Structure 1
Amino acid sequence: MNRRTLLKSAVAIGMGAPLASLAAATPAHAAGNYDVLVTEQVKNKVMLFRAINLWTPENLGWEWAAPAQTAWVGLNDARFRETDRFGWVCAVAAGGGKVGIVNFGDDDALLWSATPGGNPHAVEYLRGHGVVAVASSSAVSSTLDYQGYLSLYAPTDADDPATLGSEPVQRIEFSGAHGLWWDGAHLYALGTWTLAKYRVTGSLKSARLALVQKHMWATEFGGHSLDMDFTDSGRLVLNGAQAIWTVDKATLALTKIRSQSYGVKSFSRAVDGESFWVQAIDVTDPPKEGWWNEYVQFFDAAGTPTYRRGLDYYGYEGHFYRSRIASIRLS
């Protein structure tokens, strides 16, 4: 689809408001009448679809293919974020070691990229500060051998991602870091043992993450993805310990909302309670082994499976790693 045509037909959820207010601003919808952004690792693409429609080539809203480089193999994360200078961009992270910001505008060019290493699983653009945070799940080198960390990249010009530079200004040890979420005020991070909440101090190259509070589990939690709970702007949704949870952003108190949720790589919940996830194929189909699934599974508000979406019309079996409600929706 032509880039300008797409952007002219897109509606921003929340109309540029802080993410904390998105739930209230999300349009009411019939089941599945919202857009889903997925990372697909066979063709190594980010793809955008309306949930309720069949995921055919004709219904593809947008896609971006990662560069054909080893460091870009295995797209793990993608999310739309708004910038002052470039409008909507797509922040992406690849298990091969790369992260970047794609110009969701005229040319889909990489406005910035860096190599934090350590199997990046999540990337966030912190609007208002112009900084980028990355969650890496494993060691990056013999000199940085802790099993997971957060990396912070800071700009010389808060309106220009190209000035973020190639080296992080801060690294924080964070075992098994997998999930990140910026709500306009705080950055939340999730890993094997820890859920943490940070604020940003300083500005430009002096920007740093400062811990506000954290929750630590006594046994291995194995947290994976963090996302907004569109049913309540005061909560996030996350998965770990073989279950799905909501977390109160003010207190970090967790509430289990779905048990027996094994191998889930990402979970999202829409404003009407409908939800969807990517669950590892080796959990659902033991003869296959993989951290991906060829389908995104959808559920009604009661948690009953309803429909699923895959790339059946593309002539190959897709390998989805993450899916989330897009921060824009096509009109």
Structure 2
Amino acid sequence: MASNWYIYFLAALHIFTAVLAQPITSRADDYHIAVVDQNSRTVRVFPRNAKRWNDDAIFWSFTPGIFNSKWNNLSGVKIRKVAKHGWIALVTASGGKAGILNITKEKRKVNLFDLMWQATPGDNPHAIEIVPRNGAIVVASSNPGKLSLYVPTSKDIDDYSKIKHAEDYPLKGAHGVLWDPNGGKSVADGFLWVVGDDFLYKFKVTGSFQNTRLKQVGRYNLPKGGLGHDLQPDYTNKQMLLMTDSYAAYSFNTKSGKFKVLKTMMKLKSLVRHPNGEYMWVTGDKHELGQYVRWGAKVGSQTDARGWSDAKFYKARIYNPNYE
């Protein structure tokens, strides 16, 4: 008869083998996801592993309401962290608006009255970014295409009452904007990346306070020449960016300047990769927008999904303030 330790060993080995055999998403970290839903006119945050994304599962939400048309068609959200306010949400709406909200444990449901800062760049805002240690805010608007730069006018860069519009930069089809620390800790070390029609652009942020400006230092042809949709980090590799256009999903090596086609696939509205290795994306289904957020070890190879039949998801983001 086998000894007890051997029986226990075989049982443990069986369990360990079964766990390894599970798809990556069934072993996924229980992180949170911020989703932009144009049907409900909300940004909502849900646990990744909640069995159902219903009202009971909502961790945080922003609802601009129905009375301000410039907040129609929410188009983007990012989570960031600043010294004065802690975690903040950066939001955009195709109706013309961009804004910043504080995320606190005390208030899980917020609306327009909770905005700490807002502006009206117009021209279909799609994405927003804040430059760390500088305080500048950049909004990418797609039609016909521009970057709108807002700068702090006081030494307190987190005082949003002192943020002023500085300049607009024409950029055809601007859809995504992302700060890349580039392994450094100063503004001078980093780059601002922007995806638009046909190209990925690289900018330096120069100056400070009201003298902050953007300077283009690079431009890269999208491999299939499509209209850019999304630009996000690959959280498994600080040198890699992820992006989508009207034809495919790509990774981009910021050191070599080389693209890799991850998946030829149309209507990819957003794409990001979690540190655990799983990709998360939204594909336009009905009405060009998505009803489900999807996950998989490879882009387009779904192993899990969350959502509902009448959703109109445009963007899905990892609830994480890190730039890379």
Normalising by the smaller structure, the TM-score range is 0.7 to 0.9
Shift of 1:311: 3.8
Q: Following TM superposition, by how much is the alpha carbon of 1:303 offset from its aligned partner in structure 2, in angstroms? A: 5.2
Q: How far apart in 1 are the matches of 2:298 and 2:236?
A: 11
Aligned letter for 1:113?
Q
Separation (CA, whole Å) in 1 of partners of 2:299 and 2:261: 14
The offset of 1:328, in angstroms, is 5.5
Give the counterpart of 1:294 among 291, 294, 317. 291
- Contact between 1:214 and 1:252, CA under 8 Å: does it hold in 2? no
Alignment partner, residue 268 of structure 1:
272
Q: Does 1:121 align with 2:121?
A: no
1:79 to 1:218, Cα distance in 2 relative to 1, 3 A: closer
Residue 215 and residue 328 in structure 1: after superposition, are their counterparts in 2 closer, same or farther (change >3 A)? closer
1:324 maps to 2:324: no
Match of 1:6 in 2: none
**Does 2:83 align with 1:101?**
no
1:172 aligns with 2:169: yes
Determine if the alignment matches structure 1 residue 193 to structure 2 residue 210: no
Match of 1:279 in 2: 283
- 1:213 partnered with 2:218: yes
Do structure 1's residue 41 and structure 2's residue 45 form an aligned pair? no
Partner of 1:20: none
Structure 2 runs not aligned, ≥5 long: 1-25, 182-189
3-state DSSP of counterpart to 1:305: coil
C-alpha distance in 1 between matches for 2:229 and 2:79: 19
Match of 2:54 in 1: 56
Question: Deviation at 1:123?
Answer: 0.6
Corresponding letter in the other structure for 2:80: R
CA shift for structure 1 position 104:
1.3
Q: Does 1:79 align with 2:82?
A: no
* Structure number with higher relative contact order (C-alpha < 8 Å, ≥ 6 residues apart): 1
Q: Aligned partners of 2:256, 2:280: CA distance in 1, in Å?
A: 26
Distance 1:218 1:160, change over 3 A: same
Indicate the SS of the match to 2:152. Answer: coil
Equivalent pair of 1:73/1:94 in contact (CA under 8 Å):
yes
Taking only aligned residues, the RMSD between alpha carbons, in angstroms, comes to 2.1
**Residue number among 61, 64, 67 corresponding to 1:66 in the alignment:** 64
1:130-188 deviations in Å (ceiling 9; x for gaps): 111011000xxxxxxxx2011111111312122113xx312111111001111232110
Which amino acid in 2 is paired with 1:231? Answer: T
SS in 1 for 2:153: coil
Whichever residue aligns with residue 277 of structure 1, its letter is W
- Which AA in structure 2 matches 1:153? Y
- Kindly tell me the number of residue pairs found equivalent between the two proteins: 280
SS in 1 for 2:161: helix
Identical counterparts, % of pairs: 32
Mapping of residues 222-237 of structure 1, within 5 Å:
222-237=227-242
2:20 corresponding residue in structure 1? none
How far apart are residue 216 of structure 1 and its match?
A: 3.1
Q: Secondary structure at the match of 2:210?
A: helix
Deviations 1:257-313 (A, max 9, x none): 122x111110111223211211111xxxxxx4x23112112223485211211146x
Unpaired segments ≥5 residues, structure 1: 1-28, 139-146, 282-287
Provide the C-alpha distance between the structure 2 equivalents of 1:267 and 1:152, rounded to a whole number of angstroms. Answer: 25
Partner of 1:160: 159
CA contact (8 A) 1:196 1:215 kept: yes
Distance, in Å, in 2 between the alignment partners of 1:78 and 1:65 is 13
8 Å CA contact 1:37–1:326 kept in 2: the answer is: yes
- How far is 1:199 from its partner? 1.5
Question: How far, CA to CA, are the matches of 2:74 and 2:40 in structure 1?
Answer: 10
Deviating runs (4+, > 4 A) in structure 1? none
AA aligned to 2:145 is G
Any conservation in 2 of the 1:35–1:328 contact (CA below 8 Å)?
A: no
Report the alpha carbon displacement of residue 251 of structure 1 after superposing the two structures with TM. Answer: 3.6
User: Larger radius of gyration, structure 1 or 2?
Assistant: 2
Cα offset, 1:56, TM superposition: 2.1
Cα 1:221–1:66, aligned 2, differ >3 Å: closer, same or farther? same
Query: In structure 2, how many angstroms separate the alpha carbons of the residues matched to 1:293 and 1:241?
Result: 15
**Kept in 1: contact 2:281–2:299 (CA 8 A):** no
Distance of 2:166 and 2:152 partners within structure 1: 10
The letter of the residue matching 1:323 is: A
Deviations 1:205-260 (A, max 9, x none): 1100111211135974211100000121111100125111111123432111122x
Taking structure 1 as reference, are residues 217 and 57 closer, same or farther at Cα in structure 2, changes over 3 Å only?
closer
SS in 2 for 1:169: strand
Quote the Cα distance in structure 1 between the aligned partners of 2:77 and 2:148.
Answer: 17
| SS at structure 2 position matched to 1:71 | helix
